[in-house]
């Protein structure tokens, strides 16, 4: 081991501190979207987008359920409000968003069949982006911001950015149905 005389070591000390800080920044906590090894399959999403475009071209409706099923790989049938119950014994469920998971909305008077959307990005603990169909009639919306407004921070109440910089009404959410190849989320 080589030692430096004291006079020379004080000159390099600031550089060592800067290097140590830079390296520690690289080793920080993983981003929320890297915390799980789940992502949306680009081929599945491309297929879902092609199918939606083909339906619109024929003058047919574009619904949230087939779009979410095609993008996520979660093979559940029936109206969106039934997905949470149907997923119970077949898929892991969570109250924390995960990329690729299906967000299951409860039915409301204005949305009696419920709604489903696929999480495309976890931005922060209370903000995600979703891809979904028929939020705007017969359209696919990608990268729509959703914020958690629940009192417990458990994603049971959300608002969606339906128009730029304008979050709409509060909607009740059951939770997130995790895609087949994801790990169960502890505490969810």
φ, ψ for residue 98, nearest 5 deg: -140, 135
Q: In the prediction, which pLDDT does 183 show?
A: 55
Residue 109 belongs to what domain range? Answer: 36-177
**Residue at 143 is within a domain:** yes
Residue 162, CA atoms < 13 Å, CB-side half-sphere: 13
Alpha-carbon gap, residue 149 to 163, rounded angstroms: 18
CA geometry: angle at 66 spanning 89 and 177, to 5°?
A: 30
Q: In the prediction, which pLDDT does 177 show?
A: 98
Q: In the prediction, which pLDDT does 30 show?
A: 34
**Residue at 169 is within a domain:** yes
Report the chain (188 residues): mean pLDDT per 10 consecutive residues. 46 42 36 48 94 94 96 95 96 96 96 97 97 94 96 97 89 95 51
**Residue at 1 is within a domain:** no
Listed in sequence order, the residues at least 6 apart from 53 whose beta carbon sits closer than 8 Å to its beta carbon are none
Could you tell me the maximum CA-CA distance found in the chain, to the nearest angstrom?
Answer: 81
Q: In the prediction, which pLDDT does 35 show?
A: 39
**Residue at 61 is within a domain:** yes
Alpha-carbon gap, residue 96 to 91, rounded angstroms: 15
Structural domain total, the chain: 1
**Residue at 112 is within a domain:** yes
DSSP 80: G
The pTM assigned to this predicted structure is 0.76
**Residue at 9 is within a domain:** no
> Within 10 A of 2 (CB to CB), how many other CB atoms are there?
3
Residue 164 sits in a domain of what CATH number? 3.90.1720.10
**Residue at 162 is within a domain:** yes
Please give the structure tokens belonging to residue 180: 């087949």
Distance of CA 144 to the CA centre of its chain: 10
> Within 10 A of 97 (CB to CB), how many other CB atoms are there?
28
**Residue at 15 is within a domain:** no
Q: In the prediction, which pLDDT does 61 show?
A: 94
Q: Which of 87, 89, 92, 151 is nearest to 116 (CA)?
A: 87
């Amino acid at each position: 081991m080589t030692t430096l005389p004291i006079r020379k070591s004080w000159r390099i000390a600031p550089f060592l501190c800067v290097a140590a800080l830079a390296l520690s920044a690289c080793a920080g906590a993983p981003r929320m979207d890297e915390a799980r090894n789940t992502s949306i399959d680009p081929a599945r999403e491309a297929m879902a987008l092609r199918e939606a475009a083909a339906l619109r071209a024929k003058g047919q409706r574009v619904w949230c359920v087939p779009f979410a099923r095609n993008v996520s790989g979660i093979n559940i049938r029936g109206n969106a409000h039934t997905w949470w119950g149907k997923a119970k014994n077949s898929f892991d469920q969570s109250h924390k968003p995960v990329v690729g998971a299906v967000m299951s909305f409860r039915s409301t008077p204005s949305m009696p069949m419920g709604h489903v959307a696929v999480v495309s990005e976890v931005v922060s603990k209370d903000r995600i982006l979703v891809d979904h169909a028929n939020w705007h009639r017969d359209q696919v919306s990608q990268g729509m911001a959703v914020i958690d407004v629940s009192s417990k921070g458990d994603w049971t109440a959300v608002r969606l950015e339906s128009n730029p910089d304008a979050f709409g009404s509060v909607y009740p959410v059951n939770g997130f149905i995790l895609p087949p190849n994801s790990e169960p989320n502890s505490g969810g």
